[in-house]
């Protein structure tokens, strides 16, 4: 898969890949919030990487960044 390196990523065409290639196996960490919640994924193939990137985005939508909520 070709990768385009540019100093203007906003000018990229829809679907164009920007940035360095990800090496396999790839370890993905939750990047939501100021604190690491501990969730991680390991992708061993390109197909698995695409699936796990989508799963990580879904997780980050509802993750509270390791915040522990207590009730009184």
Q: What is the pLDDT of residues 29-69, one digit of tens each?
A: 988 877 788 899 999 988 898 899 899 989 988 887 766 66
Decide if pLDDT at 25 tops 80. Answer: yes
What is the model's pLDDT at position 19? 66
Tell me which residue of 25, 23, 21, 18 sits closest to 40, measured CA to CA. 25
**How far is Cα 55 from Cα 66, in angstroms, rounded to an integer?**
18
What is the model's pLDDT at position 64? 77
What is Dmax (Cα atoms) for the chain? Answer: 54
Decide if pLDDT at 28 tops 80. Answer: yes
**How far is Cα 55 from Cα 41, in angstroms, rounded to an integer?**
9
Cis-peptide into 12, omega within 30 deg: no
Which tokens sit at 33? 């919030």
Tell me the whole-structure pTM to 2 decimals: 0.62
Q: What is the pLDDT of residues 6-16, one digit of tens each?
A: 566 666 666 66
């Amino acid at each position: 898969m070709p990768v385009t390196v540019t100093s203007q990523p906003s000018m990229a065409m829809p679907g164009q890949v920007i940035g360095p290639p990800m090496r396999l196996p790839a370890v993905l960490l939750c990047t939501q919030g100021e604190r690491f919640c501990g969730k991680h994924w390991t992708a061993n193939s390109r197909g698995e990487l695409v699936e796990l990137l989508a799963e990580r985005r879904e997780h980050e939508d509802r993750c509270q960044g390791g915040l522990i909520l207590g009730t009184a």
